[in-house]
Amino acid sequence: MKTFIVGISGVTNGGKTTLAKNLQKHLPNCSVISQDDFFKPESEIETDKNGFLQYDVLEALNMEKMMSVISCWMESARCSVVSTDRESAEEIPILIIEGFLLFNYNTRVYEPPDPPGYFDGHVWPMYLKHRQEMQDITWEVVYLDGTKSEEDLFLQVYEDLIQELAKQKCLQVTA
């Protein structure tokens, strides 16, 4: 049984969750796992020299737990659908994993809001650092233009996914 896994990553508060949820609404047999659900408790988050909690680092996340949830999804996806020689693209289980540090190992409203200077002084520099690390990885990564509308981004990713699923279907039928 084939599965299709998509990663959506980018700067904090950049629309990843919104895009993932929109895709989930429109794609059959689609699940979403959000990295935001795997932050460690605040008591385990380090503070920088300016007094900001360091949420934008990998150490702030319980990645072992996240990987365990992903593994469980992969195992249940293999078992949940009976495999046939002529599976349609709609039957392929799709997992969308979204988060700000995926490739390094609804609009979000923060309550309480971030302290003044936190985004410019911490979030953006950490994003740039991690993006550079991502660019050094040889995986196929498609970068989205964050200045485009939410609808345009959704349509671009949705069309790319439909094309990839169609390729998967062709591969399965001829195999």
- Nearest residue to 70 via CA among 93, 41, 104, 45: 93
Q: How many CB atoms lie within 10 A of CB 159?
A: 10
- What stretch of H or E contains 95? strand 94-99
Query: Which pLDDT does position 110 carry in this prediction?
Result: 55
Tell me the per-residue pLDDT of 52-97, one tens digit each, with 9 for 90 and over: 999 988 889 998 899 899 989 988 876 554 444 444 555 789 999 9
Query: Which pLDDT does position 96 carry in this prediction?
Result: 95
Q: How far apart are CA 157 and CA 175, in angstroms?
A: 27
pTM above 0.75, yes or no: no
CATH class assigned to 4-174: alpha beta
Q: Kindly list the catalytic residues.
A: 36
Q: Are 74 and 105 in contact (CB under 8 A)?
A: no
Tell me the average pLDDT of the chain. 81
Tokens 């988060």 belong to: 99
Q: Which of 9-18, 31-40, 118-127 has the lowest mean pLDDT?
A: 118-127
Q: Where are the domains of the chain?
A: 4-174
Packing angle of the helix pair 16-26, 150-174 (nearest 10 deg) = 50
Query: Which pLDDT does position 173 carry in this prediction?
Result: 45
* Beta-bridge mates of residue 32: 96
Query: Which pLDDT does position 78 carry in this prediction?
Result: 63
Q: Which of 21-25, 65-69, 92-96, 111-115 has the lowest mean pLDDT?
A: 111-115
**Which residue did the predictor score with more confidence, 17 or 112?**
17
Structure tokens given for 55:
């949420």
